[in-house]
Amino acid sequence: MEYRIHHEIPGRVRVKLAGRVPDSDLDALIKMTSECPVIRKIQVYGSIGQMAIEYANGETGRAAVLSHLDGITREDIERAKAGYAMALAPRTHALLLQLARIVGAYVARRWLFPMPIRTLFAINAFLPFLAAGWQALRRGRLTVPVLDAAAIGISFIKRDPKTAGETMFLLHVGEALEDYTRAASENELIGSLLDVPDSVQKVQGDTEVRVSAESLKPGDLVAVRTGMSICIDGVVERGVAMVNQATLTGEPLSVERAVGDDVFAGTVVEEGDILVRVRESTGETRLRSIVALVEHADSLKSNVQSHMEAMADRIVPWNFLLAGIVAVITRDLTKTSAALMVDYSCALKLAGSIAVLTAMSNAAKAGIMVKGARYFEAFAQADTIVFDKTGTLTEAAPKLVRVESANDAWSEDEILRLSACLEEHFPHPVARAVVHAAEERGLEHRERHAAVEYIVAHGIASELDGRRVVIGSKHFVIEDEHAQLDESLAARIEEHFMGLSPLYLAIDGAVVGVLGIQDPIKPGAADAIAQLKSMGIEHIVMLTGDYAKTAERIAREAGIDEWRADLLPEDKYAYLASLKEQGRRVAMVGDGVNDSPALSLADVGIAMGQGSDIAKEVADIVLSDTELAALVTLRRISSGMQRRMMGSYRKVIGINSALLALGIGGAITPQTSSLLHNASTVGLSLVNTSRYV
């Protein structure tokens, strides 16, 4: 990058760039410059082509900053710009500069030019308004641009270019403030979502390590299996998988991805497992996915928001009707103009949109990612919550507390070693408990088994030295696989596994061992459920594929109204369908691949952040916090958003109706009504940016 040092003091340098920085490049330049680790703060002054940088580490830091600037190319800027579709940092100084230009141009025309020249300026400024209004009329729509063009046009008809200029000046100021308010809310939401962590299975030699996605670099190798999301752009190096790319392409059916194929961040592996070589910076791909989420969320409006926007569009023709009536009755163009200067549309749309963006931002700061406004509304109106058990009501990190061997041929350590070798490939809470227990005992293993197959809601199957190996629930191992269970082992399970969740390991049709998983209820779960009941949730249910005795204990400790045990995914789905047939508004909370069908059926599906990626993809809301208190926070935010949007609706109607009445009555001028209208719109929007909880 071309630059020269303009001024510097220790810890701060100001550089002069080769020329003015376009607004479209500002965010990309800030992003690329901030990648230098010693830089603390960056300020870019685009209009004068300068950049101020604060840095750490003295002379060493200065050298690192200058070296970093030397390495930034035009290609880097273009690549950074391609990573997102909207400005990431709406800058206050940019708003002030824009307002200064609007005010300066208006004052200069008023004071420096005679009336004929000012009239020409006013006519020229009117042309964009006239074009926008004409385009709307050509589409057969009476919208706000038509209102604005008509109101300004009346001033020209009255041969009053001074009033026309004042009106356009006020409209430009109001538009700048409204655009900044919306952009600031979107930016805050994106920043909040960027703080929600992601993790991946990084391949290091012959082992896999769970690491933060942010730590990945181009060239790293990542393992992705059934139910896991792909959080990077890369190329498949090994394996075959069916990948759901609906978030990128809109195509509902998964596509096959094999060696040499590209895969992209934000997609999910529905079946199979692959090793992916990272191609792009994880920061850029994550940012692109989040921006896509924010843009997609705009299409998922709540009923209240949709009603406000529909009302806004329907009111505009009535503005014209009112203006016509005023013109006929009063024959006063000033009062007619007053009827056109105040519209409900901008205020209704902007206030509702800002309320939603603020709710999403507040939720993201609380570790809750909501994919659209309608899901806030659905959760605010929910009267029934259905919980999965493992990892949802119980700890996301259960513990293995007992291992029973069928006979002397298999020791406890051998059973645990083989079980961990199979389970380490899948990010399920029970799998992590087995792997962690093996690590604590120092049981190292090398993979002698063949490729593993994950069977949803059942367990894992593989081969070891030509023999079939399965591990999973009793239903899977004993009933589906028809493995034989020794009577003495069954008796020991009955005696020692009270309250534990058993995991059966069988080889060639014979159970060789059983692992007992302790599934303690989450701290604060009972308290959170009690609070949800006090907030209007009438019925709370727990569904699980676990034993009835374990389910009964968890339900009793958590204060749950109803529970069902020994369920398969299709059973959970059928139960939710029956609830909806009864007219209940249902929220489903789960974390596993087996919860995905029920999550998609519920009025609002909520996935725990530590659960499977496919559950998080299917769900409408994702909780990064594993504590159920997040649901209480979500209920408060959802209810608060509903109240705020209804309050905004009433205030917009009340304020603008009063301004119309005052303008038509002659108590205020059209310019004053326009000023108060724009001020109230921005004011209501700013009120809606305050925190909900």
Question: Residue 239: enclosing H or E segment and its boundaries?
Answer: strand 234-244
Q: How many residues would you count in the chain?
A: 693
Beta strands in 550-646 (DSSP E): 562-564, 586-590, 604-608, 621-623
* Residue 595: DSSP 8-state: G
Ramachandran bin of 369, using left for φ above 0, alpha for ψ from -120 to 50, beta for the remaining angles:
beta
Contacts of 473 by beta carbon, 8 Å cutoff, 6+ apart:
457, 458, 459, 503, 504, 545
80 closest CA partner among 266, 277, 288, 267: 288
- From the CA atom positions of the chain, what is the Rg in Å? 31
- Answer yes or no: are the C-beta atoms of 155 and 126 closer than 8 Å: no
In one-letter notation, the amino acid at residue 680 is S
- Answer yes or no: are the C-beta atoms of 271 and 233 closer than 8 Å: no
In one-letter notation, the amino acid at residue 336 is T
Question: Residue 76: enclosing H or E segment and its boundaries?
Answer: helix 74-82
Kindly list the catalytic residues.
388
SS3 state at 261 = coil
Ramachandran bin of 428, using left for φ above 0, alpha for ψ from -120 to 50, beta for the remaining angles:
beta
- Answer yes or no: are the C-beta atoms of 523 and 394 closer than 8 Å: no
DSSP string, 341-367: H--SHHHHHHHHHHHHHHHHHHHHHTT
* CA–CA gap between residue 579 and residue 541 (Å, rounded): 11
